[in-house]
Amino acid sequence: MPPQDDIPPQHDDSDSRRADDRAGQRTLRRPVEGRLLAGVGAGVADYLGTDVTATRVGLVAVAVLGHVAIPAYAAAWALIPEEGKSRSRAAEFFDSAADHVDSLITRVRHA
């Protein structure tokens, strides 16, 4: 068996980026680029370190066979933050709703 130093690396830049993500804390994000719809499949594939096409096929198969395709995709879209953002659409919505309720309560108290 040859020494490990004689074996050339078998990866590209995306592999080293995934390895860096695995070494640190990984975060689930929907990428801005490389989307088909909203980036759920690409985000899950990047998080798991798997092939994006295989991950998309797997997600579609599970969703269709489980009869939850549209609700599951909508939930993932709302709950997984977009790449470059720290908060999901759902968190932003609930913060906005809470601000509206707080301002309404303040107006009622002062009336």
Question: Taking 60 as the threshold, does the pLDDT of residue 103 lie above it?
Answer: yes
**Distance from C-alpha of 75 to C-alpha of 69, rounded to nearest angstrom:** 10
Query: Which sign does the torsion angle of CA 13, 18, 20, 21 carry?
Result: positive
pLDDT at residue 18 is higher than 60: no
Sorting pLDDT into bands at 50, 70 and 90, what band is 111? confident
Which amino acid is it at 62? V
| Three-state SS at 37 | coil
Asked whether the whole model's pTM tops 0.85, one would answer no
List pLDDT tens digits, range 20-60.
444 567 788 888 777 777 888 888 888 888 888 888 888 88
CB of 26 closer than 8 Å to CB of 47: yes
**Dihedral of CA 33/39/41/47: which sign?**
positive
* pLDDT tens sequence across 56-76: 888 888 878 878 777 888 888
Task: Kindly provide the b/e burial profile for residues 66-84, where b requires at least 16 CB atoms within 10 angstroms of the residue's own CB.
Answer: eeeeeeebeebbeebbbbe
Confidence bin at 10 (pLDDT 50/70/90): very low
pLDDT of residue 66: 77
